[in-house]
Amino acid sequence: MNIKKIKSMLIAVVTMCLLAAADQFTKYLAVKNLQHKMSVKLIPGFLSLTYVENPGSAWGMMQNMQWLVIIISFVLVIGVFIYYYRLSDEKKFIPLKIALTVLAAGALGNAIDRITKGIVVDFFEFKFINFPVFNVADIYVVLSVIIIFILILFVYKEEDFAINRKGEV
């Protein structure tokens, strides 16, 4: 493993941890300030802060299957970093590497809740549409998946992801 790869991976892991810590801090604030209280209207009719405990995964699926969701989360984080490591060090892959890091941070942030609380704390609620209450980690996941999708569809070519026999890009 070369020094450039090590440095890149270290930056990604530290960034993932910092983003997950930011997510945890917002959840701490939600528990402290919103739990057992009425919704706080940020933008009336549009956005509120509403404390919700989610015992499942996205949109409340897989209710009370926390250990399975935790295992899936950690497999995702490990898979993201294996893929990250195998990506070329070319500058054109920096946006993809950032999106992968943010995706891993979102998975880690919600996994921390599942491990420590047995639920995920959600608190952002769109009032103008019927949309599940969500949190910062969910924002990380959704935005990073959208960015990855756009990059794969419109920026990268198939040959950008070709892997030679040695497993190197």
- Tens of pLDDT along 9-40? 999 999 999 999 999 999 999 999 999 999 99
Contact call for residues 6 and 95 (beta carbons, < 8 A): no
**Tens-digit pLDDT profile for residues 125-134:** 998 888 899 9
- Pairwise CA distance, residues 161 & 83, whole Å: 10
Q: Annotated catalytic, 122?
A: yes
**Tens-digit pLDDT profile for residues 80-121:** 999 999 999 999 999 999 999 999 999 999 999 999 999 999
**Tens-digit pLDDT profile for residues 68-81:** 888 999 999 999 99
| pLDDT the model gives residue 66 | 77
For 139, the token pair is 């924002």
Count of other CB atoms within 10 angstroms of residue 127: 16
Segment 152-169 shows an average pLDDT of 73
Distances in Å between the alpha carbon of 14 and those of 8, 9, 11, 104, 133? 10, 9, 5, 11, 28
Count of other CB atoms within 10 angstroms of residue 97: 21
- Pairwise CA distance, residues 57 & 110, whole Å: 9
Query: Which of 47, 48, 53 minimizes the C-alpha distance to 31?
Result: 53
Question: Residue 41: pLDDT band by 50, 70, 90 thresholds?
Answer: very high
Of all residues in the chain, the percent with pLDDT exceeding 70 is: 91
Catalytic residue from among 23, 89, 113, 138: 138
Among all chains, which residue has been given the structure tokens 């497999």?
A: 75
**Region of residue 62 (left: phi > 0; alpha: psi -120 to 50; beta: else):** left
pLDDT at 169 over 60: no
Give the angle 158-74-94 at the CA atoms, nearest 5°.
40
| pLDDT the model gives residue 158 | 86
Alpha helices in the chain (DSSP H): 3-34, 66-86, 94-117, 136-150
Angle between helices 3-34 and 94-117 (to 10 degrees): 40
Q: Annotated catalytic, 113?
A: no
Question: Residue 165: pLDDT band by 50, 70, 90 thresholds?
Answer: very low
pLDDT at 164 over 60: no
| pLDDT the model gives residue 163 | 58
For 125, the token pair is 């609620």
pLDDT at 166 over 50: no
| pLDDT the model gives residue 58 | 67
| pLDDT the model gives residue 14 | 98
